[in-house]
Amino acid sequence: MKDLLFKNLGLKIFSLLFSMVLWFYITTEKESELGFLVKLSVRNIPKDMELVGKRVDRVTVWVYGLRRYLMRISPDEIVVPVDLKNAKEGVIIYPINLEVIKVPPEVSVTRVSPSTIRFQLERVIGKKVKVVPELKGKLALGYDIESMDEQPDFVNVKGKRSIIENLNTVYTYPIDINGLSQNLKFEVPIDEERSKIKVEEGEKMVMVDIKVKERIIEKTFTEVPVSVEDLDQSTIAVITPDKATLKLKGPEAVLVNLNKDENIKVVLDIKKLNSNKTVRRKAKVILPDKIILLKLEPEWFKIHVEEEE
């Protein structure tokens, strides 16, 4: 019996001491209060209403309980419900009831700050508005938009009363037309975020048909050399004046790059022209495709032909 009593004596003493310390800790552990910053759980907003303006979306919930329980709590375990089921349009002062705040069962709620929350509800209304395609960039040099068609050209939208009442147009996301020189057909969504609205389902995508045309301009070229056709090597032709001024019309992309010495030819025909004679003749103008001659100055040129000695 004595041997049984003293067997594993050290372990028994340790267990006794541990039990006493644990009992002492439990019986003397103090209760405390701790605050948690908690996000409001707003629910049951009426379907025809939206929350507007700035508002408090978090509150501090003070929880009471044993310190070891408080240390284990996460703010996500605390729920502060705000039920707006029967709310009306306008400003609402909502009192937070401590009894509806959900916390772990080991602790209790003592207070909440702030204790009331200000909300503002605004009615959601609908309207039919014009669709405007948003364009980004510049067309290729010498091109203009001839026409632009969008389908649908009107859409039904919904949003806060203060926005919809003053809204007449909505815009698509930007369409890149930079460097465009041919027709473009493109489907693009309406930018709901820009106007802070919602477009009715089935009308969110817009087909945009852009047709472009060449820009036609006029340009005057001076000091254009005048030459003769089929001039024999043994013949000398003296032209007076030997330079001409031309007023041309055509696509800007062509005219701005036109070189008067290389791309424009003002020529005189000296066929059937006897030597040592001076005659007046009109010139023939040779131009690139799409370029039209509006005016040539002078209209008549003097040509004197001589045989080279």
Tokens at 125, concatenated: 């209304």
Q: Is the pLDDT of residue 83 over 70?
A: yes
To which H or E segment does residue 27 belong?
A: helix 9-28
249-300 pLDDT, tens digit each: 999 989 998 999 889 999 988 776 667 778 888 999 999 999 999 999 999 9
Number of other residues whose CB lies within 10 A of the CB of residue 65:
19
More confident residue, 274 or 211: 211
How far apart CA 109 and CA 98 sit, in angstroms, is 7
How far apart CA 65 and CA 31 sit, in angstroms, is 5
For 228-243, what is the mean pLDDT?
80
Q: Is the pLDDT of residue 123 over 50?
A: yes
Q: Is the pLDDT of residue 124 over 70?
A: yes
For 84-95, what is the mean pLDDT?
93
Kindly state the percentage of the chain with pLDDT values over 90. Answer: 75
For 114-133, what is the mean pLDDT?
96
Q: Is the pLDDT of residue 140 over 90?
A: yes
Beta strand 31-43 with 58-66: parallel, antiparallel or unpaired? Answer: antiparallel
Query: Can you give the length of the chain in residues?
Result: 309
- What is the signed CA dihedral for 100, 103, 104, 105, rounded to 10 degrees? -40
Q: Is the pLDDT of residue 304 over 90?
A: no
* pLDDT for res 132: 97
Beta strand 169-171 with 116-132: parallel, antiparallel or unpaired? Answer: parallel
* pLDDT for res 308: 61
DSSP class of 231 = -
Tokens at 16, concatenated: 């006794």
Q: Is the pLDDT of residue 23 over 70?
A: no
* pLDDT for res 10: 57
Tokens at 242, concatenated: 């030997």
CA 173 to mean position of chain CA atoms: 5
CA 51 to mean position of chain CA atoms: 26
How far apart CA 145 and CA 64 sit, in angstroms, is 71
27-71 pLDDT, tens digit each: 446 789 999 999 999 999 998 999 998 889 999 999 999 999 999
Q: Is the pLDDT of residue 197 over 50?
A: yes
Whether 264 and 258 have beta carbons less than 8 Å apart is answered as: yes
Task: Provide the mean pLDDT of the chain.
Answer: 89
Q: Which domains does the chain have, with CATH numbers?
A: 31-114 (2.170.120), 124-214 (2.170.120.40), 216-307 (2.170.120.30)
Compute the Cα dihedral for 81, 83, 89, 93 and give only its sign.
negative
Q: Give the residue from 212, 210, 208 showing the smallest Cα distance to 153.
A: 208
* pLDDT for res 29: 60
Tokens at 13, concatenated: 């003493």
How far apart CA 301 and CA 35 sit, in angstroms, is 102
Q: Is the pLDDT of residue 160 over 60?
A: yes
